[in-house]
A and B are shown apart, each in its own frame.
Chain A
Amino acid sequence: DAKTTQPPSMDCAEGRAANLPCNHSTISGNEYVYWYRQIHSQGPQYIIHGLKNNETNEMASLIITEDRKSSTLILPHATLRDTAVYYCIVRARSRGSYIPTFGRGTSLIVHP
């Protein structure tokens, strides 16, 4: 089972920031938070990941709370092409390996 919970859907106006929350209250001390997105009928695409510190790359920013029980993915200037399902993933440890398990994700709709 996924170790994360996300709102099923959100919407955002084009050009505004999209803030996608994720709850991972059972995260362990050394487990990373990963974000992927899946545009309709395509394979998931890696966005960003982090452990404790906030992270930023050319696609997005990731804000992780100090207690690490939740995080927020920020798309600073959403475009119509950012319409997708966004998955927050904390890997489950299974037989010595970290196996990524997808939850239901958040369907983000960016409107004009």
Chain B
Amino acid sequence: DAMVIQNPRYQVTQFGKPVTLSCSQTLNHNVMYWYQQKSSQAPKLLFHYYDKDFNNEADTPDNFQSRRPNTSFCFLDIRSPGLGDAAMYLCATSRGLADEETQYFGPGTRLLVL
């Protein structure tokens, strides 16, 4: 089945130690998104790629970066994780950015910062 895959499901890192979260998709979608979801809160969009075009949300901290080496893969890099970055990180895809575009989400990676 076509899907959005996130690995690992759980990631533990140390305060200040760089960490990379991975997302891959078999849907061949043009758009890939990264969301941050803290406990009991709604998902918050960090950035998205339309193909290779990167779009950062205005309030996304510089500590968060992303790479998309090809259509299938997208990475979220946290350069110096703080305790406040502990959250669920969700990857999603869509064919495009028109209004009638369904998003498909991965299962998420839960990040713990010690």
Which A positions have Cβ atoms within 8 angstroms of B? 2, 30-32, 34, 36, 41-46, 49, 51, 87, 91, 95-105
Contacts and interface: CB of A to CB of B under 8 A. Distances in A.
Given A46-B102, A102-B35, A103-B42, 8 more contacts: A42-B107, A43-B4, A43-B106, A44-B43, A44-B103, A97-B55, A102-B42, A105-B42
B102 A101 contact: no
A102 B44 contact: yes
Interface string B4-44: 10100000000000000000000000000001000001111
Given A43-B90, A44-B90, A102-B42, A97 B103 contact: no
Nearest to B90: A43
Interface string B98-114: 11111111111010000
Interface in B32-75: 35, 41-45, 48, 50, 55
B91 to A, nearest CB: 8
A20 to B, nearest CB: 15
B10 to A, nearest CB: 10
Contact of B108 (A36, A42, A51, A95): A42
Given A42-B107, A43-B106, A46-B104, A98 B99 contact: yes
